[in-house]
Amino acid sequence: MKIALAQLNYTIGDFAYNTKKIIDHIIKAKKQGSDLIVFAELAVCGYPPRDFLEFEEFIDLCEQSAQEIAKYTMGIACIIGLPVKNNLVAGKDLYNAAYFIEEGNIKNIVKKALLPNYDIFDEYRYFEPAITFNCIEFKGKRIALTICEDLWNINNNPLYVSNPMDELIKQQPDLMINIAASPFSYLHDDERVETLSKNASHYKLPLLYVNQVGAQTEIVFDGGSLAFDKNGNLLDEMMYFEEEIRVYEFTDNKLQGLKPIKHQTVSDIEQIHDALILGIKDYFRKSGFKKAVLGLSGGIDSAIVCALACRALGPENVMAVLMPSKYSTDHSIDDAMDLVNNIGCMHEIIPIKEAADVFDHMLAPAFQNLPFNIAEENIQARIRGILVMAMSNKFGYIVLNTSNKSECAVGYGTLYGDMCGAIGVIGDVYKTQIYQLAQFINKDGLVIPVNSIVKPPSAELRPDQKDSDSLPDYDQLDKILFQYVELKKSSTAIIAQGFEEGLVSRVIKMVNSAEFKRYQTPPILRVSPKAFGMGRRMPIVGKYLS
């Protein structure tokens, strides 16, 4: 039996696009001699559809697409993921399911049992868990088909009280297939390989796993579909961050012609780089946008975002706006122009001194001669926000936000100023990782100017301003933030690791006090195990750990 895995990039709710893509790959797999082609979890509608699932028409369109796909399964079977209606009154109205289609007919419906309800996942909001399990009979073989999380309950701290495979194994299957929508983080590929390997070795069955690829707003899917033998040895690993179809020969209850290999290991920074480019590219393509605009300060954060945008969209589609203040140094403009010249993007230089002076004059009576402080600083940041938004409105550019995760965490940014934008490109990348990302971008030639990397970071909103005036050293700050945000450690636990008590208390208070700002920022491309946004839900007025 020849089995094709189709690792594809779907668009949520674009039924015509998704259906055509699935049909095109069915035809391609058939030409390659495949007997079965397997698509990802909720492939028909795209994942995650979120509250689209509450529209009855949306579910009907999923079924119509499946019926159209079925017409192309003469001589080849397929597995597709889609939501299906629950005909019982009790329970949720839908199942997260998969159709097994053969010779134009839906022969089996497999329903997901383990519904993740943590971090970015919210499946129990919509779906009823499966309670019955049956293998698929195909060409004299039994296939144990599961859906994503159904294979993730095989660790020392299980989230669920049962495993679907414990039931399916009683029917003596010959092969496991798992269809997934498994999001990217720079740690998740290793976890994925380990978990799936444990399943194969535990149940003593070969395993084929297909993941989707592509970005859906802030969530990036990295592909990396996998094949294992019955001993849990990794036999094959499909490409990451790219679409691919690959055919496997399953004969004598083995995946033929494959030898054990090692998991492809690449650095965290390279994975983050590739994920961010895919995230930018898909945000624009799936939203119907073509051109981006951002403020380019001469600092490292905006330089990174500009370089990534140029790689994702082409430099001809990126507008960098240089907005020097009266406190900006000449080298900041020079550094920004060096980047522009290195990558060839569009640019405009619009000084903000004149606008800031007008605001100072206008507000002088109301400010009652009080000394210069954060009010005047933030006015300048908001002038910059107005300018990039004006370019967006005038020319149809989409604004890229350039705040990093360290800044987002502690609220070091100005609402409606440098925190504006349609998508946060590096809001899940700590400042210390930003420097590593710059080195990676420069590995084949100078892109990010050296001075942007080595000079002390500054918002340049007051004389001789440095980030270090307001923030702890980034090396210390990021370590504390990682413990608190990603690992969810308390202040007591962090202090016990050797961090100074006052510093830890200060950082955690800054994080909690900035929650109201994060509620008003753009969606952030998720590359870490715990990103700000839909995967981290904190009360704004809570006092715990403040």
Q: Provide the pLDDT for residue 168.
A: 98
33 labelled ligand-binding:
no
> What's the length of the chain?
546
Q: How far apart are CA 184 and CA 221, in angstroms?
A: 5
296 labelled ligand-binding:
yes
Which residue in this structure is represented by tokens 């007919």?
105
Q: Where are the domains of the chain?
A: 2-252, 270-467
Q: Provide the pLDDT for residue 546.
A: 58
Active-site residue identified among 21, 30, 41, 111: 41
**Side-chain-facing half-sphere of 263: CA atoms under 13 Å:** 19
Which residues have C-beta within 8 Å of that of residue 416, sequence separation ≥ 6? Answer: 382, 385
Q: Is 420 a catalytic residue?
A: no
Q: Provide the pLDDT for residue 469.
A: 82
Contact in structure between 454 and 295 (CB atoms under 8 Å): no
300 labelled ligand-binding:
yes
Provide the CATH number for the domain formed by 2-252 in this structure: 3.60.110.10
Active-site residue identified among 78, 135, 148, 310: 148
Residue 528 is encoded by which pair of tokens?
A: 């870490």
182 labelled ligand-binding:
yes
Q: Is 41 a catalytic residue?
A: yes
Active-site residue identified among 21, 30, 111, 112: 112
295 labelled ligand-binding:
yes
Residue 111 is encoded by which pair of tokens?
A: 């329903």
Q: How far is CA 438 from CA 36, 220, 302, 445, 471, in A?
A: 44, 21, 11, 11, 21
118 labelled ligand-binding:
yes
Contact in structure between 211 and 182 (CB atoms under 8 Å): yes
Domains 2-252 and 270-467 share a fold: no
Q: Provide the pLDDT for residue 466.
A: 79
Contact in structure between 21 and 15 (CB atoms under 8 Å): no
Q: Does domain 270-467 have CATH number 3.40.50.620?
A: yes
11 labelled ligand-binding:
no
297 labelled ligand-binding:
yes
User: What tens-digit pLDDT sequence spans the chain (546 residues)?
Assistant: 999 999 999 999 999 999 999 999 999 999 999 999 999 999 999 999 999 999 999 999 999 999 999 999 999 999 999 999 999 999 999 999 999 999 999 999 999 999 999 999 999 999 999 999 999 999 999 999 999 999 999 987 788 988 999 999 999 999 999 999 999 999 999 999 999 999 999 999 999 999 999 999 999 999 999 999 999 999 999 999 999 999 999 999 999 999 999 998 999 999 999 999 999 999 999 999 999 999 999 999 999 999 999 999 999 999 999 999 988 877 889 999 999 999 999 999 999 999 999 999 999 999 998 999 999 999 999 999 999 999 999 999 999 999 999 999 999 999 999 999 999 999 999 999 999 999 999 999 999 999 999 988 877 777 877 777 889 999 999 999 999 999 999 999 999 999 999 999 999 999 999 999 999 999 999 999 999 999 999 999 887 765
Q: What is the reported pTM?
A: 0.95
Contact in structure between 82 and 99 (CB atoms under 8 Å): yes
65 labelled ligand-binding:
no
8 labelled ligand-binding:
no
Q: Is 148 a catalytic residue?
A: yes
**Helix or strand (DSSP H, E) at 22:** helix 15-31
468 labelled ligand-binding:
no
402 labelled ligand-binding:
yes
DSSP string, 264-279: ----HHHHHHHHHHHH
Q: Provide the pLDDT for residue 545.
A: 67
Catalogue the E-assigned strands of 315-422: 318-322, 346-349, 398-401
